[in-house]
Amino acid sequence: MAFRLHRHVSTVVTDSGMVLLDERTGGYFELNATGAATLTALLDGASPEEATRRLTADTQAPPDQVATDVAAFLADLARLRLGSLT
């Protein structure tokens, strides 16, 4: 499964992470560096499991916690109608 942002979502990389703009509502969503790294990995074709492995390699965080956080991140993006796994 691949992750895709919906057509109405624009991204801008910032010094501290990334900002998502929902062009339908005008809502902005600021991602920290970890959120930006997660989203970038997913948009580059990584599965949630691969994104978890990449993030775990870069941190001291327990893999189970990172997997939970990635799943919650994906659920938030879906709930906000910003993107989804296809």
Cβ 42 vs Cβ 48: under 8 Å: yes
pLDDT at 1: 77
Helix axes of 63-79 and 33-43: crossing angle, nearest 10 degrees: 80
Q: Which of 81, 45, 42 is nearest to 69 (CA)?
A: 42
Q: Set out the domains of the chain in order of their start, with CATH numbers.
A: 3-81 (1.10.10)
Instruction: Per residue of the chain (86 residues), give pLDDT as tens.
Output: 789 999 999 999 999 999 999 999 999 999 999 999 999 999 999 999 999 999 999 788 999 999 999 999 999 999 999 999 98
pTM comes to: 0.92
If we measure between CA atoms, which residue out of 25, 2, 1 comes closest to residue 10? 25
Q: What distance in Å separates the CA atoms of residue 15 and residue 32, rounded to the nearest whole number?
A: 9
